[in-house]
Each structure stands twice: as C-alpha cells, then as structure tokens.
Structure 1
Amino acid sequence: MTVPNVLLSGIVGSTAYGLAHAGSDIDRLGVFAAPTELLHGLHPPKESHVSSAPDHTLHEAVKWCRLALGGNPTVMELVWLPAELYEVRTPLGDELIGIRTSFLSAARVRDAYLGYAGQQFRRLEARGDGSFSADTRKRTAKHARHLKRLCHQGLGLYATGRLAIRLEDPEEFHDFGERVAADPAVALPLLRFYEDAFTETRSVLPDRPDEAAIEAWLRRVRAHFYPTGGERAS
C-alpha cells in the first residue's frame, strides 16, 4: 500500500503490548495528510486506507483526530509507542506526539476503554460454556487477553494521564486468556472489578480535551500541504 504524505506510522497491537507469539500478525497504524486542495472538491479523498498481509491502517489527519478525541484506544496507541516501534516520523508527526495529552478527557477515556472491553466481553458471552473447538478456544483466549489489557491500560491512563503500551507482565494476560477459554464466566468478575475501579479512582484528566491545540495542529498540516507558488509543498 502506497499512500503519500504519511506523517507518523508505527507497529501497534500485540507486538507493541508484548503479547505477540510466533506467527502473530504485525499490525501497523499511521496517519497521513491528504493534499489540502483535494479537501475542497466535489469528491473528497478517502479518509482511511487499509491493507492486509501486511496489516496496515492509515487514517487521514482529521479522521485520526476525531477518533482520538473520542478516546478510541487503538488509534490513541500511535502517539504513545516506544520510540523503537515508530517506522515513519516526520516533524508534523512529532508535533502530534507532542500534543497527545490534548486529546484526553476523563469521561471519554473511561467510556471508550470500558466500552471496548465490554465488546470483548460480549464476544466471550456469545461463546457459551467453553465446550467449543480448539480454534474457537484460541479466539476466546485472545478476546479475554484484550479485555484485560483494555481495562488495565485504560485505568492507568485515567489515573495517571499516560498510556503505558508495553505490559509489565505479559504472561499474566496470557494466563487470564487461558482461564477464560476454559471457563468464560471468569471474565465477568474482572470486568466488574475494573468498572468499580474507574468509579473509585480520581482521574488526573481534564473534563474536556484541548481542541484548540488540535485545531492548530490540523491547520499547520493543511498549510504545509497546500500548493504555493504553483508547486505543492513536500
């Protein structure tokens, strides 16, 4: 997949968390800027480009910002990665990393992370009592790992204002996945524990994100990729 004007891109998902195993897919996520003049036409450019083998998702700058403002956990990973996991970094991409806390607000982080964790739990519920195929058990363990990860990372972000991508004890999450694969009922107490923990934790995050900082960054992106003097900015 060739997309021009990539501002920031890196390896996310299980590899970034430390949960990957032999044969795991490598997921990449990035943000790109559409040429500014195309945004004013009758048919605006695509806001996302997605490919598989390898798995790579690129969101246009404004879409990425909207998703991040909503607290989307997957999108938010991009600006909190360890340095060695970035594959493309540009000055505008570094600026985006620099304003990453501007996207955060207490209610949106809580609702987004618990919401995504709830989705994982409903997938587990739909699988019944654990008497299913080996392939389904494998998928169940994966959903359970990500349920626990979302709860853990989300509460950490809510409490500290920082998103820790790498898990300190990946084996703990693998063990939980296997327990849930054997008995899906194990997942509910964990979800309830984190729901209570969010309620009892005083967040350091503001009530509202800093949209002015985000708007200013987007305007710098648009200015950079607007033709001047008959030539397109590079």
Structure 2
Amino acid sequence: MTRNVLLAGIVGSTAYGLAGPDSDVDRLGVFAAPTEAFHGLTPPEETKVTSKPDTTIHEAAKYARLALGGNPTVSELMWLPDDLFEVRTPLGEELIGIRSAFLSAKRVRDAYLGYATQQFRRLEARGDGSFSADTRRRTAKHARHLLRLCHQGLRLYATGELEIRLANPQRFVDFGERVASGDIELARAWMADYESRFDAARSVLPVEPDRAAVEAWLLRVRHAHLDANVRRRFLGVPVDGPA
C-alpha cells in the first residue's frame, strides 16, 4: 500500500454516473514522497499503478504539473462529490481548497477538446459500425466520453465549476449507442458544435493558472514530510536534541 496518501477517491465512469454492470471502478490519488528522497541519486517513483482495484496514485509534484496542464482525468479528483472521497487528509483538503488555482482558459479549452478529439479519432478508425459486439461496446464508451468531455469542458470554461456527477447521464448513454450503431456523423456534428460553443463562450477563467498558490501548497507538503532527524541536521541541531 502506498504511504502518505493525501487525497484519493473514486473517479471515472462511476463518478460520472455512466458505469454499467461490467464497468471497472477506477481510483485516483495523490501521495507525498519523503522529502529527503528528492536529494539522493535516485528520484522517488512519481506514479504508482495497480490493478484489482484499478488505482493510479501520483506523487504530489507530478500531480500538480498534470493538473496545471489542464489534464481532465487528473483534475477531476479535486472536484469529486464528498461521498466519492476515500482518503481526505488536511493537506488533501488544502488541495481541494486551491483547485481553482490550477485553471486557465486556454488550457481548459485545449485539454478538454483535445481529449474529446482523441476519442473521435478512435471512432473514425472503426468505420461504419459493422464490427464485433466487443468493439461496439468500446465504441459506445468512447462516444460517451467524447460528449462528456465536451460537456464538462465547456461548463468549466464558462462557469469555473467542474460537473463530475452528470445531471442527465442517459443523454450520454443514448449518444454512445447511436454512434456505436454506425452514426459517426453524429459525433462529428457534436464535436463541431462544441467547438463553436467554446468560440462563442466568454470564459470566467484567468489567462494563466495561479502557480504561486500551487507552489505554496507543494512546499507545505514537502515541509510536512521532512523527517524530523533530517530537519534537525539541516538546522544544525543535534539529532538527540530538541527539534
């Protein structure tokens, strides 16, 4: 088990309300490596991935870099409904408290439309719908996530709030089934429509994220995970003396 987990919860289809009977439960988290580990020859591991359960945990600095880049998958952890969090420490609460500091208009637009375009390219590569049942299921999944990314991204861009639990999940399920039945043009039309909506929307987000706020949080993480004996040596205090 990963030590020093700061924040962790259930993400993905379960969080959105799009999970089916065969869907995996995906978990995402942030952990803090011991501060002294960054000063040796071998840097600490930045990402730990396990299966059964499917869990990805990023070290705090990597998590911050990914979130500052607008990564939708990483960012959603900070916006989960309360009941989906499984670990929530004081430093994790601080991370939730500065979640808006990671946002900027261009990066949100580029990241969400970019991820949606990746889903569309996968759909395009599959042709007219004359494929196996398994491929059809995957096609429906990619289509659902295309529409979800467009929907979430535009809402975040325009309001500064990320909707995780979708208000009308059936809309996305129906869309996925139509596209999986061979209606690739529906997906193309929705992509074009959302690009136009982004162009027309006035974003409430800043031009640049608040890197200073993110850096201050990361420094608090590093201070909190500095071994007491290392801190004493750094301050020139004898190991046996008071901290």
Superposed pair shares fold, TM > 0.5: yes
| SS class of match (1:93) | helix
| SS class of match (1:38) | helix
Displacement after TM superposition at 1:231 (Å): 8.3
| SS class of match (1:150) | helix
What corresponds to 1:63 in structure 2? Answer: 62
AA in 2 matched with 1:14? S
Provide structure 2 residue ranges, at least 5 long, that are not aligned to the other structure: 233-243
AA in 1 matched with 2:136? R
Deviations along 1:107-152, one digit per CA (max 9) or x if unpaired, are 0000000000000000000001111111111100000000000000
What corresponds to 2:194 in structure 1? Answer: 194
AA in 1 matched with 2:65? R
**Structure having the higher Rg:** 2
| Paired residues, number | 231
- Under a length normalisation based on structure 2, what TM-score does the superposition of the two structures give? 0.93
Provide structure 1 residue ranges, at least 5 long, that are not aligned to the other structure: none
Distance 1:40 1:118 in 2: 40
- Under a length normalisation based on structure 1, what TM-score does the superposition of the two structures give? 0.97
Matched, 1:38 2:76: no
Displacement after TM superposition at 1:197 (Å): 0.4
| SS class of match (1:23) | coil
What corresponds to 2:3 in structure 1? Answer: 4
Deviations along 1:21-77, one digit per CA (max 9) or x if unpaired, are 222100000000000000111110110000111100000000000000000000000
Displacement after TM superposition at 1:96 (Å): 0.2
Identity %: 69
Distance 1:89 1:212 in 2: 23
User: Does the CA contact (< 8 Å) of 2:78 and 2:95 recur in 1?
Assistant: yes
What corresponds to 2:236 in structure 1? Answer: none
| SS class of match (2:95) | helix
What corresponds to 1:216 in structure 2? Answer: 216
Alignment of 1:1-234 (within 5 A): 2-183=1-182, 184-229=184-229
